[in-house]
Structure 1
Amino acid sequence: MLKSIKSNGVTAVLDHDGFNKRIRVVRYDGAIEKALPDIVAAAREEDAEKIIVYTKQHDEAVLAQQLFVPEGFLKGYYLGHPACVMVRYLTENRRRTHSYIEEQEMIEALYRIAPRLRSDNTPAFTMRKAETNDMYQLSMLYKKVFRTYPTPVFDPAYIEKTMNTNTMYYVMLDHDRLISAASAEINPELGHAEITDCAVLPEYRGHSLTSFLIEALEKEMAEENIFHVFSLARAASFGMNAVLYHSGYQYGGRLINNCYIAEGLENMNIWCKHL
């Protein structure tokens, strides 16, 4: 849910994510520090536990003075210029992690492994844009792949709702069986799309199915005049870079633009396995 606030000559676009109890400042113009009191007030009004600001490069030091810390980076977010994803926690529980060292050890171990090169041969499965009647198989796919997930993708009604509100799914099928999926959450106002909800059934892993789905989504986004695509990964900071790199997702000689958000070891394990 997007809303704009204007304060002291600053305009900021806020995205309230009630399910995850967070406020995201997805765009702003002006001196962001002047709008922070209103942003914090809006977050507390919505009972948010975390504020995320897609920060312009010259504002990183200003937000650091206001208790924000960097958790990731996005290339080209602001018309070709980078954004630093900076966060401020409003509750102690949201800030705490019990597995920091284990997360770092996992990422270090992953970087020591030689990356897997993706085959240029398209797998012998059917790939297409998802339709509404796929929502039941999609929900079953997510139930089999994820033990937990930050959005209610286990609910077919939720998937149907997202399909009708600027989220596009691509699926891979083995005959009539849905075996893999990925989606793009489109923000037409900002001209961005977030690649998310990626999953592959365990018995079909190792074919780089996710990379084919993401490539199809990116082509579809280009046709919709969406040219900035990124992934917000619920994993250890910078760990998503390692996961995508070693899964062979480097089509066209480049990696998808990534942002890496520290949200827990369990989902990092899942990402390492399913790509």
Structure 2
Amino acid sequence: MQPDSMIRMTGALLQHGPASDRVYLMKLASPDVPRIIRFMEQLASTNGYSKLFAKVPGQAEGWFRAQGFKVEARVPGMFNGNQDGCFMAKYPKRERSVISSPKLVQKVLSTAREQSVHSGRSLPEGWKTVTMKPEDAQAMADLYRQVFETYPFPIHDPEYLRSTMDSHVRYFGIRDDAGRLTALASAEMDCSAGNVEMTDFATLADCRGKGLASILLAHMEKAMAKAGIDTAYTIARAHATGMNIVFARQGYDFAGTLPNNTQIKGDLESMNVWYKPLEACN
């Protein structure tokens, strides 16, 4: 399945396509909010998409509400510490707004919250966390290909990984004592807004159970705080107990659930938003 397409428009960044069957406003940097909303609705209508999804600062919330969008998750102070981040959605096809397994989503959240006491993990002897470089892109793509059959972004493509490294993404990994890449994650930075999305966590099957995602996340937080980022957040699969526990244990707060939001491994999945101010990490 082909990844969805990216569009830049008057300071805004959008993603759309049949893979996730949606229009996603990833960044709003244009003062002409009504025009952006009209463009999103035209894209959805032309292509028959079943969801319009937008990540916007609080000052734009009213514009989107007036056009039928609703807030599904809210991150306090996500934009430079003084504006909330609103994850908003509108559904041309109402059935997509219905979470298919709400009891399972609640069970995962309850389990994550019950296990939210942080317990430090350390790497096995000889293993180390590393910042990934362009020359690592092929090994990174190979690892992502082993973990994710399909994904909403083309992380299986080394050239895509290199291009994001050149712009706004820092990748972090863990190598074992033989130098093999065993785990990966990325920090998608929005320096102008002072926030970062902690995402793309992947661990090889034979290395799971060692707490590598938690170790990576703690390392990434320190790097992002050092870079001047104020708020970290993630959009985690709502049915994935392990990743929700990772963020709860690391002190992240739950912000809301995004119904049937993202195509992963061939299916549309609901996603949980978690966030954490990084002041304490400085």
- For the criterion TM > 0.5, the same-fold answer is yes
Between the aligned partners of 2:14 and 2:247, the Cα distance in structure 1 is 34
Unaligned runs of 5+ residues in structure 1 are 5-12, 30-34
Which position in structure 1 is the counterpart of 2:280? none
CA, structure 1 residues 69+112, in 2 after alignment: closer, same or farther (shift >3 Å)? closer
Unaligned runs of 5+ residues in structure 2 are 1-6, 273-282
Q: Does 1:68 align with 2:66?
A: no
Q: Does 1:15 align with 2:13?
A: yes
Counterparts of 1:1-275 in structure 2 under 5 Å?
4=10, 14-17=12-15, 21-26=23-28, 35-43=32-40, 50-56=52-58, 60=61, 63-78=64-79, 79-89=81-91, 92=93, 96-97=95-96, 100-102=99-101, 104-111=102-109, 113=111, 114-115=114-115, 119-124=119-124, 125-174=127-176, 175-233=178-236, 235-236=237-238, 244-247=243-246, 249-251=248-250, 254-255=251-252, 260-262=257-259, 263-264=261-262, 266=267
Q: Residues 130 and 169 of structure 1 are in contact (CA less than 8 Å); yes or no, is this contact kept in structure 2? A: yes
| Relative contact order higher in (CA < 8 Å, ≥ 6 apart) | 2
Between the aligned partners of 1:44 and 1:62, the Cα distance in structure 2 is 14
Aligned-residue sequence identity (percent) comes to: 21
Deviation at 1:60, TM superposition (A): 4.9
Between the aligned partners of 2:104 and 2:228, the Cα distance in structure 1 is 37
SS at match of 2:115: coil
Between the aligned partners of 2:268 and 2:246, the Cα distance in structure 1 is 16
Deviation at 1:249, TM superposition (A): 4.7
Q: Which amino acid aligns with 1:41?
A: R
Q: CA RMSD in A?
A: 3.5
CA, structure 1 residues 131+267, in 2 after alignment: closer, same or farther (shift >3 Å)? farther
SS at match of 2:12: strand
Deviation at 1:143, TM superposition (A): 1.1
Q: Residues 117 and 248 of structure 1 are in contact (CA less than 8 Å); yes or no, is this contact kept in structure 2? A: no
Q: Which amino acid aligns with 1:129?
A: T
Worse-superposed segment, 75-84 or 15-24? 15-24
Q: Which amino acid aligns with 1:123?
A: L
Between the aligned partners of 2:226 and 2:108, the Cα distance in structure 1 is 35
Deviation at 1:179, TM superposition (A): 0.8
Query: How many residues are matched?
Result: 247
Which position in structure 1 is the counterpart of 2:275? none
CA, structure 1 residues 162+259, in 2 after alignment: closer, same or farther (shift >3 Å)? farther
CA, structure 1 residues 220+112, in 2 after alignment: closer, same or farther (shift >3 Å)? closer
Between the aligned partners of 1:25 and 1:160, the Cα distance in structure 2 is 21
Between the aligned partners of 2:38 and 2:64, the Cα distance in structure 1 is 16
The alignment's TM-score, normalised by the length of structure 1, stands at 0.73
